[in-house]
Amino acid sequence: MAGAGVGMEGSRSAAAGAVLERGTGERRRGGRLWARLRHDPVAAASAVFLLLVTLAAVLAPALAPHDPSAIIDRPMAPAGGETRLGTDDLGRDLVSRLLYASRVSLAVGVGAAMLTVLIGTLIGSLAGFYGGRIDLALSGLINLMLSIPTLPLALVISAFIEIDLPLLILVIGGVSWTGVARIVRAEVLSLREREFVVGGRALGARDSRLVGRYILVNAVPPIIVAATLQVATAILAESALSYLGYGIQPPVASWGNMLQNAQRYLRTAPELAVYPGLLISVTVVSINFLGDALRDALDPARRGAPNW
């Protein structure tokens, strides 16, 4: 009985120590991220740009000078007067359409990334924690999905259903979760035999509590990095689908369908393609730079390593 009591007390100590260590580690990681942003001007500039784009998207109804669907001037009018960047091929204000398009593109990016993380974390956790036949079956599903090109699969799905914003998020998120699942599976495999998990199991914790309370909270850093990079992937996927005519449909503006509409006027009005193309490129590059900064700040093994 005394030995059992000592063992139980040791398990409690291991579990409590894990919670305390987790809180301390989170504070340290936050400090490392702030230090990285202060000493990395590219990552800091990326964070500032993304903050400005997000604010512009949230405040688009207040910032947009015109209704994005309203015809306010002649087609392809030059910049000046009421139109700061001119008008598109139908006479709609470009600034207003770019602002509202940012709402759609960022919503798809963030929404699809959240769905990707949800599906990938669930499948990766089950595969890594239980192992055996469950791991074999789920790993087979992951490999099957990896063998299918994501964009063509999304194109096929989009061709059979009428796409709106929620469905586009479902399509992109539903075919892009495999990378997150592999990351989570690897993290769970490395954590499931750690002392604090063994201590929680000895205390009678259920599997769901072990995974949620002891394992996944310690796998948060790589999941955060993967989610950040998935935002960029989803924005590119939305832009590609909309450019090919299978994404968000006009008159709703997105950066991708603005590019698709502008391709007919590359010689006569190249600015129609330059503005949305530049926003897509700079946003995706900024997310990638910020993701690198997050990875270096949250992963001690990469601290001080070059970003390549």
Task: Give the CA distances from residue 80 to residues 95, 119, 243, in Å, rounded to whole numbers and listed in that order.
Answer: 12, 48, 28
What is the rounded distance in angstroms from the CA atom of residue 63 to the CA atom of residue 88? 19
Domains of the chain by residue range: 2-68+94-302
**DSSP state, residue 91:** S
Residue 215 has pLDDT above 70, yes or no: yes
pLDDT tens digits, 116-125:
999 999 999 9
What 3-state class would DSSP assign to 225?
Answer: helix
Contacts of 248 (CB under 8 A, 6+ apart): 104, 108, 163, 164, 165, 168, 238, 242, 254, 256, 257
pLDDT in tens, 4-58: 444 444 445 444 444 444 444 455 555 566 666 677 788 889 999 999 999 999 9
Read off the pLDDT of each residue in 214-238 and give the average, rounded to a whole number.
Answer: 88
- DSSP β-bridge partners for residue 71: 92
- Residues 86, 78: Cα–Cα separation, whole Å: 5
Look at residue 295 in the predicted model and tell me its pLDDT.
Answer: 79
> What CATH topology corresponds to 2-68+94-302?
MetI-like fold (1.10.3720)
Nearest-CA neighbor of 11 among 265, 197, 137, 178? 197
Query: Mean pLDDT, to the nearest integer, of 55-76?
Result: 90
pLDDT of residue 27: 52
pLDDT, mean of residues 213-222: 84
Q: How many CB atoms lie within 10 A of CB 267?
A: 6
- List C-alpha distances in Å: 126 to 87, 131, 181, 276, 293: 52, 8, 10, 41, 29
Answer yes or no: are the C-beta atoms of 71 and 92 closer than 8 Å.
yes
Residues in the chain: 308
The structure tokens listed for 277 are 């193309």
pLDDT digits (tens, 9 = 90+) for 84-115: 888 888 889 999 999 999 999 999 999 999 99
User: What pLDDT, on the 0 to 100 scale, is given for residue 14?
Assistant: 46
pTM, to two decimals: 0.80
Q: Tell me which amino acid residue 250 is.
A: P
The helix (run of H) or strand (run of E) holding residue 72 is: none
- Tell me which of 69 and 80 has the higher pLDDT: 69
